[in-house]
């Protein structure tokens, strides 16, 4: 199984890295693909340039076997829709299971994503808890959770896509927003990001 961890990574932080490692181990994924977006459809222009976000992400993941940075969204013109990314990964993966990994905050906003219902045809969804968010499903999401939820990993291995799996991860209250706020206010984001990221960031 391949994990797909999309995000703006503006910048990458330990909240991304630690949760990715835990999901990889818990689901025994062959690899996790970090997919930085070029133009995030749901938010303001990133603080760091695409080149810088990519550079920091590559540095942060370089030492971990099984962590791969995938640049297809940066190379694709227009807004970075996850459905396009998964369609392109699916063409390469054949029938291998793909697991789109999202934090609970992102999952709660899923009905706002471009062609969100098509995501289930292309990948499983692995949802990680995140401090500050509660599993209270918006009405559009509720039937999908009820129909697709699996409490075991095996059903995810048995088919390429279509299940929703909730994975407990360590609750790290770290966000890129907070790191950018530190930088703007002249405070240090040390210990929230790897040292080599910190060095290149400030």
Nearer Cβ to ligand ATP (3/103): 103
Q: Is the dihedral of CA 34, 99, 123, 101 positive or negative?
A: negative
Nearer Cβ to ligand ATP (43/158): 43
Smallest distance, Å, CB 95 to ligand ATP? Answer: 25
Smallest distance, Å, CB 3 to ligand ATP? Answer: 12
Rounded Cα gap, residues 47 and 11, in angstroms: 8
Give residue number: closest CB to ligand ATP. 103
Count other Cβ atoms within 10 Å, centred on residue 200.
Answer: 15
DSSP letter at 6? E
Nearer Cβ to ligand ATP (15/189): 15
Nearer Cβ to ligand ATP (117/168): 168
Rounded Cα gap, residues 111 and 181, in angstroms: 28
Nearer Cβ to ligand ATP (115/158): 115
Nearer Cβ to ligand ATP (4/93): 4
Residues in CB range of 44: below 8 A, 6 or more apart: none
Q: Is the dihedral of CA 80, 83, 85, 87 positive or negative?
A: negative
Smallest distance, Å, CB 169 to ligand ATP? Answer: 6
Per CB under 6 A, residues contacting ligand ATP are: 7-10, 15-16, 19, 102-103, 105-106, 128, 130, 172, 174-177
Smallest distance, Å, CB 37 to ligand ATP? Answer: 8
Smallest distance, Å, CB 94 to ligand ATP? Answer: 25
Smallest distance, Å, CB 128 to ligand ATP? Answer: 5
Rounded Cα gap, residues 147 and 164, in angstroms: 9
Rounded Cα gap, residues 123 and 36, in angstroms: 18
Output the DSSP codes for 184-196: HTT---BTTB-HH
Q: Is the dihedral of CA 43, 49, 54, 60 positive or negative?
A: negative
């Amino acid at each position: 199984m391949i994990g797909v961890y999309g995000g703006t990574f503006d910048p990458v932080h330990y909240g991304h890295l630690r949760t990715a490692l835990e999901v990889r181990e818990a689901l025994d994924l062959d690899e996790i693909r970090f997919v930085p977006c070029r133009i995030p459809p749901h938010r303001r222009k990133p603080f760091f340039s695409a080149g810088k976000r990519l550079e920091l992400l590559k540095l942060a993941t370089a030492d971990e076997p099984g962590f791969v940075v995938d640049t297809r969204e940066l190379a694709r013109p227009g807004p970075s829709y996850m459905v396009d990314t998964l369609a392109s990964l699916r063409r390469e993966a054949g029938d291998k299971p793909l697991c789109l990994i999202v934090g609970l905050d992102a999952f709660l906003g899923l009905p706002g994503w471009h062609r969100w219902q098509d995501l289930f045809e292309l990948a499983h969804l692995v949802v990680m808890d995140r401090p500050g968010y509660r599993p209270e499903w918006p009405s559009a999401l509720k039937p999908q959770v009820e129909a697709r939820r699996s409490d075991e990993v095996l059903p995810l291995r048995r088919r390429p896509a279509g299940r929703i799996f909730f994975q407990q991860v360590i609750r790290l209250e770290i966000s890129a927003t907070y790191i950018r706020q530190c930088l703007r206010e002249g405070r240090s984001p040390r210990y929230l990001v790897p040292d080599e990221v910190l060095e290149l960031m400030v």
